[in-house]
Structure 1
Amino acid sequence: MATQKLGRRLLATIGPVTKPCIIYDSDLKGFGIKLLPPSGKNPEGAKSWIVEYRPGAGGRGVAKRRVVLGAVGSLTPEQARDAAKTMLASVRLGADPSAARAEKRSAKTIAELASLYSAETDPVRKARTVQTYATYWNNHLLPALGSTIASAITKADLVRLHRSIGAEKQVTANRLLTLLAHFFSWAQDGGHVPKGFNPASAIERFKEAGKERFLTADELGRLGAALRLAETAGIPWAPTDLSNPNAKHATKQPEKRVTKISPQSAGAIRLLLFTGARLREVLHLEWKHVDLSRGMLFLPDSKTGKKVIVLGAPAIAILQSLHDLAVEDARPAKPGVTKPLSAYVFPTEDLKRPKHDLNKPWRLIVRGADLQGLRLHDLRHSYASIGAAASLGLPIIGKLLGHRATKTTERYAHLDADPLRRATDIICTSITAAMEGTPA
């Protein structure tokens, strides 16, 4: 272990060595050059600037640690000496550069932690939520952040991502921040990032305009007429109903070109309107969850957990009609030939699974009723709005809809005009009486 002044003059005289050795600087203790003999990987040998130190309180009882600053060719002697001085100064203040580097090398990337996060959180989430979050990770977060060390993510990184995605998809951009905020909170609990580290928590979201449409009495009339027509005579054909109007299966008589929907599809749409239930709550409904005698649906699981839906008389009649139809269809056409009764109220053709959606019949009904842009979820809003306008009270409406938080129901508060109208009538009557000098 030679000791010399490490500078340009010495570097010019150092030739190949036959075995590994270190030349330490005579002026700066701990600073040196590590020399390696020629090898298959390095035919001319290798030279690296290094720093050696004893961490903590030091002393001969503490093992030395060595940090490589860089190859001799990548740093000049002056740059290497300055870097060594800085590192040794930090050691005197209690730092441990070698341990810090080892910790950084073992730190997990966003992609690595995302895999662990999904494995822990997916089992306790709804299947639809798992699917949505997987889309967020695969389409947005992993391509942009996947290779970055989680603890190195900055607020500025997430702001850029949020603004970039929000240029076209503001709601998606907001949902990504919500997912990341939970992700970093989980990472804190697991010790993957420092406590209090959550760069997604304090970023301002885009303002979201609620998509709420309430059907008027006239629109409800048109919707009902379209439903009746669709399940009986059929709604007149439109060019959008067939991609090729000249196809063999397309009737050549325009007046006979109509499209019908099944009683099950019509029943599902009506049930959405008469219960205010969510689409999946209706489509995934099983007969064992239906209690027609008490007029209730007992759902074991929904968006907000276990839920009871109280049925009105029209909803009970719809379900009774569908049950009668299902029993009739299950009757054997021939002696000894049995047909099973599906467990689902709205099954697929094979009777083994629930319907996935109502897209085709709904598009037909919306066109037939001339209600462009109306969504199936707007039936839920309409159910709630009618209750609010009738002054039924937000707590009652919230219970009917299965809202977990009262804030969710408060969006309908402005529709309850009766109490306000009565109040303003009283005030206006008093003002009129005072102005005209008559008793109030």
Structure 2
Amino acid sequence: MARLNKKTVTAATPEAKDYFLWDDSIPAFAVRVWPSGRKVYVIHYRSGGRLRRYTIGQHGSPWTADLARDEAIRILARVHTGENPADKRSDDRKAMTIARFSRRFLDEYVDVHLKLRTRGEYRRSVELFIVPKFGSWRVADLSRAEVVEFHGSFRHIPYQANRTLGVLSKMFSLADLWGIRQDGVNPCRGVKRYREERRERFLTREEYARLGNSLDEAAEDMPEAARAIRLLALTGCRLREIQTLQWAHVNAVSKFPTCAVGKFPST
């Protein structure tokens, strides 16, 4: 036994089997060290004649040894009043809807760990596809059969179907990690993704001319959008590159004929 602090928890090395490192000031408080190196703060207590285990959280942001100890003291105080925190948490988790869990997923995972562009893709899948379909469902209730049906409803857009399935799979991996779904089953596992065929098509000369005329008309009301689309068509840049373009990125000396810059071919 030792007082759990940043030094002792960091020094705890994984072994072939998981083990508990107990705090010497609060005997019910410990950090569980898994063979993978994952470290989780827990407390043990008795309720109704049975030994119970309550998981506080994984070591790292936001749980430090000091914060976890304070939480252990708070939870044990509830135990002394006759409450069973583990049962109450289990009931809360079983009742959690996918809409509510999605907000936590976006706030605590997507906005913290992903790059800006990837955040947008994840939010799109969550807000446009996952929540409208499953928002009122409980996280604990979603099965593989429902996921297969959901994935199949987007077979006409295989790229989006596969990306949304990937986001949903990550959500349920975290639901298991965060203790919200405790059956250890990711309902997305084993769902076969669609084959994605890369398609490439270029506008014809006539289509370029029609696009140019439409942009000329739109330039009065939406000049920035018209210019951005014209740049996309003339340069072949990605959308994100044009959206974040700065003057420092522009080479003022054109390598192209003057007639090709800012003008579409006429019919």
- Normalised TM-score (structure 1): 0.32
Q: Which has the higher contact order (CA 8 A, sep 6+)?
A: 2
Instruction: Work out which of the two has the higher radius of gyration on C-alpha atoms and give 1 or 2.
Output: 1
